[in-house]
Amino acid sequence: MILFSERRAQALIGWGVALMLAAVTLGLRNAAADEITFTIVGPAKVSRIAVSQLKNLGGDDDGTVSGQFIHTLKRDLQLSGFFKIIDPHSYIEKAQDSGFTLGQFNFADWSSLGAEFLVKGSVTANEQQISIQAFLFDVAAQRQMAGKQYTGSNEDVSRMANRFADTILQQVTGTKGPFDSRIAMVSARGGRFKQIYTMDVDGGNLYKVTNNDTINLFPSFDRRVHRVLYTSYKSGAPGLYVYELDTRREIRIPSPGGSLIGGTMMPGGDSVVAAVEAGGATNLYLLGLDGTVLRQLTHGASINVSPAVSPDGSQLAFTSDRGGSPQVYVMSISGGAARRLTYKGNYNTNPAFSPDGTQIAYQSRSGGAFEIYRIPAGGGSPLLVTQGQHPAWSPDGRYIAFSIGRGSGLGLYLIQGQGGTVVGNLTTQEDGNATDPAWSSWLGE
Amino acid sequence: MRQIRPGLHGWANEMNAWSLGRWVAVMALATALAACSSSKPAAQNPQAGTGPGGMNEGNLGSGGGSSLSQFQHGTLGAPGSGGPLTDIHFDFDDYTIRPQDGEILRNNARWLTDHGNTRVQVEGHTDERGSEEYNLALGAKRAQAAKDYLTTLGVSSDRISTISYGKELPLCTEHDEDCWAQNRRDHFVVQGAQ
C-alpha cells in the first residue's frame, strides 16, 4: 500500500518524522501566525519567483528527489501564467550551504535578484519514505507565507510538488491552483490507434488506460477521480466502459437497446449520461452502470450527443440538431424541456460546465476551424476564448484545457476577467497527438 | 494519511501487467482472425471476385471485412478492398440519399436479392470536420438512411445491420474538399451466410 500525507508544517509534532526535524519546528510554528494573510495579485500581474533546490538533510545525495520536486513545481508555476521563474544560475546562495527556514538565510540574496517570492525547502529520503518540507516566502516583507510538510513514497514526489504549487497560487492569488488533479485525453502517440490516457496537468505520470487496436474516445472522470468512462470499439461495435483506477478493473455498460456511442460520467460515478443510437436517432439516457434506464432525457428522431453534467449533477448540457443545425441545449437532469443556449454560428458543440456551474464553454465552427467560447449557463452573450476544440475546465475554474489544431497537442488557456490568454502547452506535437481532454476534480486531501 | 490511486503513478511496475494484457489482446485478435479466415476463405485469395468464378459463395467475403478490420490491418482504402457492393456518398452534415446514389443502391439491392443468404452491414462515415461525437451520430443517420432505402427496395431489414464510425476511419487523409467528399460515405460490408 502506498501512503502519502500532507500536513501544514506546524502540525507535524507527533508525526514520526518530526523527531529528526525538531530543530526546525520552532520556525514552523512561528510561521503559522502568518498563514491567514494573503497577498492578492491582480490577474494580469506576473510575479518574479525564485525556486531554490531542496536542501538535502539525508538520503538525497544525488539530488534526484529535489530535482523532481523542483522540476514539477517550476513547470506548474510556469503553466499557471502567474509567475516568471528567475534563472537558477543567477542565485547567489547555494541551497545546500544555507538554511531554508525564516531567519536561516539572507533575504537580501533574493531581493537583489528582483525576486518577489521565494521557495525553499528540504528533503529527507530513505528506502521507505520521502519527507519534503517546502516554504513560500514574501521576499519584500521578509515573511513566510506558507509552510508544508509532505511525506510519502518516491512515486508521490511530483504530487507533492503539484500540491505545493496549488498552495503557492492560493497564497499569491487568493485562489488555490488546479495542479493536484489529473487530465484524461485521447492520444494515438506511438501508434495508429486512439487510446485513453491520464496524466498530471504538467504531463507527468502518464498512465495508459486502454491498450487495444481499435478506437477509444470521450474520457470523463467521476468527482472522486476513481473512475474513467470512455467509448470503445474493442468489441467491434461502440460501447461504454467504466475503468476503475484503484483496481484497474473494468466493466462494459450493457446497452438497454441500440448502440452506446458516447457519454459522460455523473459526478457520483454510479451512473452515466449515455448517447444511445437506435434506428438513426441518438438520444440521451441516464443509465446505471448495469445498463438500467434511470431516465430517458431526450426524445425524438434528432441527434442528441456530447452530454456534459454540471458539477452538482443537476444540469445537463448537450448538442442537438433538433433545430436544424448542431447547437448547445441545457436542461435539468431530472427531465423536462431543454432550452437552447447557443444562437451564434451554425455548428456549436462539445459543451463543458465550469466547476461552479455558472458558465458553459463550447466549440463553434467558424470558417474551416473551431473556436472556443464561453457563455453564461443561464443564457447570454458568448465570449471568445481561443481557437481550438474540446474545452475542459480546471477544478479551480480559472483555466480551460483544449485541443490545438488537428490533434497536435493540448493547450492551456488562462481566463482573466473578461479576457485571458493562452499560457502554455500541456502536450506538444513531440508528445504525439492529443485531443479531447477531461480535467478531473482535485484529488482530495 | 491516505491511500493514493494506482492510476497516478507506478508506470514502470505495471509493465508486466500491461505486457500480459497486450499478449492477451494479441492472442484474442489472432483467434478472431483465424475464425474470420476460416469462415471467409476468399478473403485470403488475391484473385477473389475478379475471375469468372466470382459469383461463388467463397467470394462473398472479399473486401476484407469491416473498415475497422481493414484499418487494423493497414488496408483501409487499398485497391480491391471494396467488396461486391458500392459505396454511396453524402453532402456535408447531411444524411439524405442523393439522386445519383439511388442507382447505386438499386444495384446493391439487386446484388443482395441475388444473394439471399447473405447479410450486410452498412457503415456510416463522415468527414473530419465537426466534433467526434456528433459525427458518430451523423454516421449512424447515414447508415440508417441506406438501410431504409434498401428495405424499401425489398431487402429484408433482418439482413441489414448498421454501424457508425463517424470521422474515425477516413479513406483519405488530406484536408480538402476532394478528400472530405470521399470520406462522407456509406460502405457496405457483406457478412456471408445468415
Q: How much is the mean pLDDT over chain A?
A: 89
Structural domain spans, chain A: 5-173
- For chain B, the domain total comes to 2
Q: Considering CB atoms only, which of A246, A277, A349 is closest to B131?
A: A349
Do B114 and B83 lie in a common domain?
yes
Do B157 and B64 lie in a common domain?
yes
Tell if the CB–CB gap between B164 and A4 is shorter than 8 Å.
Answer: no
Here the cell at position A229 is 468512462
| Domain contains B48 | no
Burial of A300 (0-12, 13-18, 19+ CB in 10 A): exposed
Give the residue-averaged pLDDT of A322-331: 97
Q: Are A102 and A144 in contact (CB under 8 A)?
A: yes
Do B2 and B84 lie in a common domain?
no
Do B147 and B108 lie in a common domain?
yes
Rounded Cα distance, A334 and A262, in Å: 20
Confidence of residue B64 (pLDDT cuts 50, 70, 90): low
Confidence of residue A433 (pLDDT cuts 50, 70, 90): confident
Rg (CA), chain A: 24
Q: Are A332 and A349 in contact (CB under 8 A)?
A: no
Q: Is A5 on the interface with B (CB under 8 A)?
A: yes
The Cα of B180 is separated from the nearest Cα of chain A by a number of Å equal to 12
Do B63 and B35 lie in a common domain?
no
Tell if the CB–CB gap between B133 and A215 is shorter than 8 Å.
Answer: no
Contact list in B for residue A128 (CB cut-off 8 A) is none
Q: Is A233 on the interface with B (CB under 8 A)?
A: yes
For chain A, the distance separating the N- and C-terminal CA atoms, rounded to the nearest angstrom, is: 17
pLDDT at A325 over 70: yes
Rounded Cα distance, A140 and A163, in Å: 24
Q: Is B163 on the interface with A (CB under 8 A)?
A: yes
Q: Is A171 on the interface with B (CB under 8 A)?
A: no
Confidence of residue B90 (pLDDT cuts 50, 70, 90): very high
Tell if the CB–CB gap between A406 and B165 is shorter than 8 Å.
Answer: no
Q: Are A281 and A302 in contact (CB under 8 A)?
A: yes
Q: Considering CB atoms only, which of A182, A213, A246 is closest to B6?
A: A246
CATH number, position B92: 3.30.1330.60
pLDDT at B37 over 50: no
Among B31, B128, B129, B133, pick the best mutation site for testing chain A contact (most A Cβ within 10 A).
B133
The Cα of A62 is separated from the nearest Cα of chain B by a number of Å equal to 21
Do B65 and B30 lie in a common domain?
no
Q: Which residue does chain B place closest to A150, by CA atoms?
A: B1
Confidence of residue B58 (pLDDT cuts 50, 70, 90): very low
Give the residue-averaged pLDDT of A316-323: 98
Here the cell at position A365 is 465552427
pLDDT at B14 over 60: no
Give the residue-averaged pLDDT of A66-89: 96
Tell if the CB–CB gap between A236 and B168 is shorter than 8 Å.
Answer: no
Tell if the CB–CB gap between A349 and B68 is shorter than 8 Å.
Answer: no
- The pLDDT of residue A122 is 98
Tell if the CB–CB gap between B4 and A198 is shorter than 8 Å.
Answer: no
Among A130, A283, A305, A342, pick the best mutation site for testing chain B contact (most B Cβ within 10 A).
A305
A214, A252, A314, B19, B177 from B29: Cα distances, Å: 11, 19, 42, 15, 35
Do B29 and B72 lie in a common domain?
no
3-state secondary structure string, B112-159?
HHHCCCEEEEEEEECCCCCCHHHHHHHHHHHHHHHHHHHHHCCCCHHH
Q: Considering CB atoms only, which of A208, A218, A325 is closest to B133?
A: A218
The size of the A-B interface in CB pairs under 8 A is 147
Q: Is A445 on the interface with B (CB under 8 A)?
A: yes
Rounded Cα distance, A198 and A183, in Å: 5
Amino acid at B38: S
Tell if the CB–CB gap between A306 and B21 is shorter than 8 Å.
Answer: no
pLDDT in tens, A140-159: 999 999 999 999 999 999 99
Confidence of residue B31 (pLDDT cuts 50, 70, 90): very low
Q: Are A309 and A329 in contact (CB under 8 A)?
A: no
Q: Which residue does chain B place closest to A445, by CA atoms?
A: B2
pLDDT at B140 over 70: yes
Q: Is B168 on the interface with A (CB under 8 A)?
A: yes
- The pLDDT of residue A405 is 76
Instruction: Mark which residues 94-113 of A lie under 8 Å from B by CB.
Output: none
pLDDT at A120 over 50: yes
Contact list in A for residue B126 (CB cut-off 8 A) is none
Tell if the CB–CB gap between A218 and B128 is shorter than 8 Å.
Answer: no
Q: Considering CB atoms only, which of B68, B133, B175 is closest to A262?
A: B133
Contact list in B for residue A198 (CB cut-off 8 A) is 7
- The pLDDT of residue A6 is 65
The Cα of B90 is separated from the nearest Cα of chain A by a number of Å equal to 15
Residue written as cell 439471399?
B116
Do B30 and B79 lie in a common domain?
no
| Domain contains B24 | yes
Q: Considering CB atoms only, which of B4, B18, B68 is closest to A4?
A: B4
- Lowest-pLDDT range of A38-42, A84-88, A360-364, B172-176: A38-42
The Cα of A54 is separated from the nearest Cα of chain B by a number of Å equal to 22
| Domain contains B144 | yes
Q: Is A218 on the interface with B (CB under 8 A)?
A: yes
Higher per-residue pLDDT: A425 or B11: A425
Q: Are B37 and B132 in contact (CB under 8 A)?
A: no
Q: Are A285 and A240 in contact (CB under 8 A)?
A: no
**Where is A119: in which H helix or E strand?**
strand A117-125
pLDDT in tens, A231-287: 999 999 999 999 999 999 999 999 999 999 999 999 999 999 999 999 999 999 999
3-state secondary structure string, chain B?
CEECCHHHCCCHHHHHHHHHHHHHHHHHHHHHHHHHHHHCHHHHCCCCCCCCCCCCHHHCCCCCCCHHHHHHCCCCCCCCCCCCCCCEECCCCCCCCCHHHHHHHHHHHHHHHHCCCEEEEEEEECCCCCCHHHHHHHHHHHHHHHHHHHHHCCCCHHHEEEEEEECCCCCCCCCCHHHHHHHCEEEEEEEEEC
Do B100 and B5 lie in a common domain?
no
Q: Which residue does chain B place closest to A370, by CA atoms?
A: B130
- The pLDDT of residue A31 is 36
Give the residue-averaged pLDDT of A167-176: 96
As assigned by CATH, the class of the A5-173 domain is: alpha beta
Q: Is B23 on the interface with A (CB under 8 A)?
A: no
Confidence of residue B2 (pLDDT cuts 50, 70, 90): very low
Rounded Cα distance, A192 and A285, in Å: 32
3-state class of A248 per DSSP? coil
| Domain contains B134 | yes
Rounded Cα distance, B92 and A400, in Å: 30
Higher per-residue pLDDT: A419 or B59: A419
- The pLDDT of residue A415 is 84
Q: Is B11 on the interface with A (CB under 8 A)?
A: yes
Domain of residue B146, residue span:
59-193
Rounded Cα distance, A390 and A412, in Å: 12
CB neighbour list of residue A112: distance below 8 Å, 6 or more residues apart: A92
Q: Are A264 and B133 in contact (CB under 8 A)?
A: no
Contact list in A for residue B165 (CB cut-off 8 A) is 215, 233
Q: Is B13 on the interface with A (CB under 8 A)?
A: no
Here the cell at position B101 is 446514389
Contact list in A for residue B10 (CB cut-off 8 A) is 155
